[in-house]
Amino acid sequence: MLFDDRLVTVLRTRPGGETAARTQFRQLIDLLGSQPAAEGEEPRYGKILAFLDQAAQMDAEERERLLVQPALATRNPTVLTYLAFLKLAELSERIPEDERSRILREPGLRLRNRRIVAFLAGGDAKPAAAALATARLSEKDWQRLIPKLPIVARGFLRHRRDLPGGAKALLEQLGVQDRVLPQPEGIAIDSTAAAEIGGAGKSDGIRALLRRIEAFREAKRTSDGAPRLPLGDLVEEGQIGPLDHFPFSSNAQGRIDWVEGDFAPLVVGMKLAGQVARLAEGDAEAMRSHHPLLGAQLVIDGAGIISGTWLVDAEPTFDEAGHFTGYLGRIRRPEFALPAPANDTASGDSVADRMRQLLHELRTPVNAIQGFAEIIQQQLFGHVPNEYRALAAGVAVDAAKLLASFDEIDRLTKLESGAMELAAGDADLREVVLQTIQRLEGVLRNRDAGFELRMAGSPFTTSLAREELLVMVWRIFATLAGSLALRENVSVSLSSSAGEIALDLELPAALAALPDKYATPVPEERPVISAGMFGAGFSFRLAQAEVRSAGGTFGFEEGRLHVTLPLSPGEIMPQASEAQDEHVA
């Protein structure tokens, strides 16, 4: 994003009176509303909210320091956007709702950025309605914004007739539509009542509405049938087939805010662990603690199609700052279950799901810690002493290592459960092995250690993508290199014959002496060369999962590691050439 000095000029202004405050409010809305919404060109909205929450804990003097030098002198667009939102929040407290609403409806005001629209929609009702009435967003931005809006704010959009088709369809899916009571069949409403509903004052309109509801009740008592109150949001019987499951999402309070299907109006707005929908006690406690819900029992007292006992499978969701935002998952009948993957057992799949959910919960706070550490280290919000910057840099590095280790665990879990397959390609194993040994040579040369490589046969083309093969080979060789003693050299042979490629590696003495290669302890100090944070045993297990996913074999025998990979199906095997030796120190 190019630097815009107009934002600096507006932020440096210190409004003294109400007129100056309203002017600054309008200028900030216009500048933020015209910013591009592309990812990477402005901070994520979740981080902006986290910053505003953090600023709210400060006293007035501390917040004021954020809006003066040296913060404004950084000329950093991201920092300036954060500070503009902070100033906008302060001005919103000073300017009355009606005045803010009037400013937002002024002709020529630009509201083309979904993040400023989301900010305004989450505030007071009148400015929120004005912002959603005047916002001019693309169809893609509307589709991203609408699910994140508060339920009340979504209702403000129901009268807009100029929304793109995708946005209108999404609102219908979320159960947002006109709530005007139509004329009921078989019940006469006098013209006076109709006039009261259409044009009378608010209190008169409520009384007229109550009379209509009472008319329906009376009709129900005197009729043989069972007429229903025509709110325009109910699904008639026979409109949809049997309902056995549906995806959903909820907000942080547990209220369902999105459901897929024509029956969405029956469910959207319902609160989990509420009066209509009741979770079992243990499951309700898990939801209050923001834990994953796996087969949680839910009883719904509602329309026939949704009433009864259900099971909830959902995981908690968090924004970029680590704040809990709700649940995303599936509600299903007890007899309905998704088919398990062909290569998984039911228990294995459950363990893999729980592991992935655990990693999701761990990543969220670590990501938040890393983000705040980088903010401190880079002095985004003002001057920070070098000592604290050094500490923050160390925290950011540790967080990055943790995230890398989570990625390794996630990769192993997915490979062993069959939920992931390695990318296909035509990478050459001979080329990758040579490149890996050369990368390790610089470190091993100082220890007078290395690999002695012998190759025989051809070709060496696998059915894996080059990136996948590089990761796999590096994991194997780096694990062995990290265990090499001073002046220790091990032999490696690479051969191709009979439709497969064989990689045979001698184990360093430290690894060869261990009875269980997959259970090697994690070293107290990380070696200079390492393939992961969890030691050689975990690296071997992950490499084994990668090799097996590629259709090969991985095993230990008599102090050596044997790895085979199938040749690419497109290769025609020539006659094996004579062996050729190559030594890499």
Look up the CATH number of the domain holding residue 574: 3.30.565.10
Max mean pLDDT among 67-76, 173-182, 382-391 falls in 382-391
For residue 212, how many other CB atoms are within 10 A of its CB? Answer: 19
Structural domain of residue 58, as residue ranges? 5-136
In this prediction, residues 313-319 reach a mean pLDDT of 84
Whether the pLDDT of residue 132 is over 80: the answer is yes
Angle at 348 between CA 343 and CA 354, to 5 degrees: 125
Q: What backbone torsions phi and psi does residue 553 show, to the nearest 5 degrees?
A: -125, 155
Q: How many domains does the chain have?
A: 4
Kindly state whether residues 383 and 449 are assigned to the same domain: no
Cβ neighbourhood burial of 205 (10 Å; 0-12, 13-18, 19+): middle
Distance of alpha carbon 585 from the chain centroid: 45
Closest among 486, 528, 487, 484 to 510, alpha carbons compared: 484
What is the pLDDT confidence band of residue 40, given thresholds at 50, 70 and 90? very low
Last residue of a domain, one of 136, 161, 178: 136
Residue labelled with tokens 């996630």: 410
H and E: helices and strands count for the chain = 21, 12
In this prediction, residues 4-11 reach a mean pLDDT of 74
What does the longest C-alpha to C-alpha distance in the chain come to?
103
297: three-class secondary structure by DSSP? strand
Confirm if 88 and 30 have CB atoms less than 8 A apart.
no
Average pLDDT, the chain: 76
pLDDT at 531: 66
Whether the pLDDT of residue 201 is over 60: the answer is no
Confirm if 415 and 545 have CB atoms less than 8 A apart.
yes
Q: Is residue 518 part of a domain?
A: yes
More confident call, 227 vs 174: 174
Report the b/e string of 264-289 with b at 16+ CB within 10 A: bbbbbbbebbeeebbbeeebbebbee
Whether the pLDDT of residue 158 is over 80: the answer is no
Kindly state whether residues 324 and 350 are assigned to the same domain: no
Whether the pLDDT of residue 346 is over 50: the answer is no
pLDDT at 167: 85
Max mean pLDDT among 43-47, 177-181, 332-336 falls in 332-336
What confidence tens digit (pLDDT) does each residue in 261-298 have? 667 777 888 888 887 888 888 888 888 888 888 888 89
Q: Where are the alpha helices (DSSP H) in 272-345?
A: 281-288
- What's the rounded Cα separation, in Å, for the pair 559 and 550? 24
Q: Is residue 158 part of a domain?
A: no
What confidence tens digit (pLDDT) does each residue in 445-496 have? 888 899 999 999 888 999 999 999 999 999 999 999 988 888 999 999 999 8
Kindly state whether residues 263 and 116 are assigned to the same domain: no
In this prediction, residues 428-436 reach a mean pLDDT of 93
- β-sheet bridge partners, residue 194: none
Q: What backbone torsions phi and psi does residue 328 show, to the nearest 5 degrees?
A: -135, 125
Q: Is residue 170 part of a domain?
A: no
pLDDT at 39: 47
Whether the pLDDT of residue 205 is over 80: the answer is no
Kindly state whether residues 353 and 275 are assigned to the same domain: no
More confident call, 36 vs 169: 169
**pTM of the full structure:** 0.42
Whether the pLDDT of residue 237 is over 50: the answer is no
- What's the rounded Cα separation, in Å, for the pair 506 and 492? 6
Q: Is residue 469 part of a domain?
A: yes
- What's the rounded Cα separation, in Å, for the pair 256 and 271? 6
Whether the pLDDT of residue 43 is over 50: the answer is no
Q: Is residue 318 part of a domain?
A: yes
